[in-house]
Amino acid sequence: MKLELKNITKKFRENVVIEDVNVTLESGNIYGLVGRNGSGKSVLLKIICGFYSPTKGKVILDGVDYSTKNAFPKNTRALIEKPNFLPDLTGYENLLLLASIQNKIGKQEILDVMEKLNMKTEIHKKYSKYSLGTKQKLGIAQVLMEDPDVMILDEPFNGVEKDTAKEIRELLLEEKQKGKLIIIATHMKEDIDTLADVVYEIDGGKMTELTQS
């Protein structure tokens, strides 16, 4: 798949948050997006997902201009900012409810992805009882479970214990080998140094490719 951001600019009133971003992202790669908190990373991800319309520019996925469709891009899953699920349902029940929307997967696929993320003991625990890190893992499980072509993860390692963070990195590398297009945003560059094929920095609304060491 090919994701093209063409001349993307986003203003909130007179405040320019994203300015003239031009980049092409392709399947089989992990792209890192770094920048301080408030730099516009999450805004750009929301534009890609159709949650915000760009003030100017186009979001094109495999030739389809989603910036004019005002629709969530096909075969894309995202975790942007902190995850939100129904507090009185278990983690498993929340994922089962989401999976029922498209009926692409069944119970076993949900259980499998939760176990891969070291959530075996939290499968039947209510979401309201989850720690910050476990909530984050459930958000990542939601991204992975339906085997999407495009995966967007905003601060995926926030609050996640060291051993599970390592396993998440390994899972994402496996997904890359399957030909997925993966975008990871973080304010900590070291989070993605071992993952990303290309790293971009957002600063002052501008997006610049960084040279990998």
CATH number, domain with residue 23: 3.40.50.300
- Residue-level pLDDT at 212: 59
Q: Please, are residues 162 and 14 in contact by the beta-carbon 8 Å criterion?
A: no
Domain range spanning residue 28?
A: 1-74+152-158+181-213
Same domain, 17 and 56: yes
- Paired with 59 in beta bridges are 5
Residue 5 sits in the same domain as residue 58: yes
Residues 65, 85 share a domain: no
15 lies in the same domain as 41: yes
Q: What are phi and psi of 80, to 5 degrees?
A: -120, 130
Q: Which pLDDT score is estimated for 58?
A: 94
Residue that finishes a domain, picked among 104, 123, 147? 147
Q: Dihedral through CA 61, CA 62, CA 63, CA 65, nearest 10?
A: -20
* Boundary of a domain, candidates 93, 126, 147: 147
Give the pLDDT of residue 14: 87
* pLDDT (0 to 100) of residue 188: 72
Question: At 23, which helix (H) or strand (E)?
Answer: strand 15-26
Q: What is the pLDDT of residue 67?
A: 82
- At residue 175, the 3 state secondary structure works out as helix
Asked, for residue 175, whether it belongs to a domain, the answer is no
pLDDT for the residue numbered 177? 95
Asked if residue 50 is part of any domain, the answer here is yes
pLDDT at 149: 95
Q: Which residues of the chain have pLDDT under 50?
A: none
Q: What values do phi and psi take at 24, rounded to 5? A: -120, 125
How many structural domains are present in the chain?
A: 2
Q: Are residues 86 and 109 in the same domain?
A: yes
The C-alpha angle 40, 42, 46, rounded to 5 degrees, equals: 115
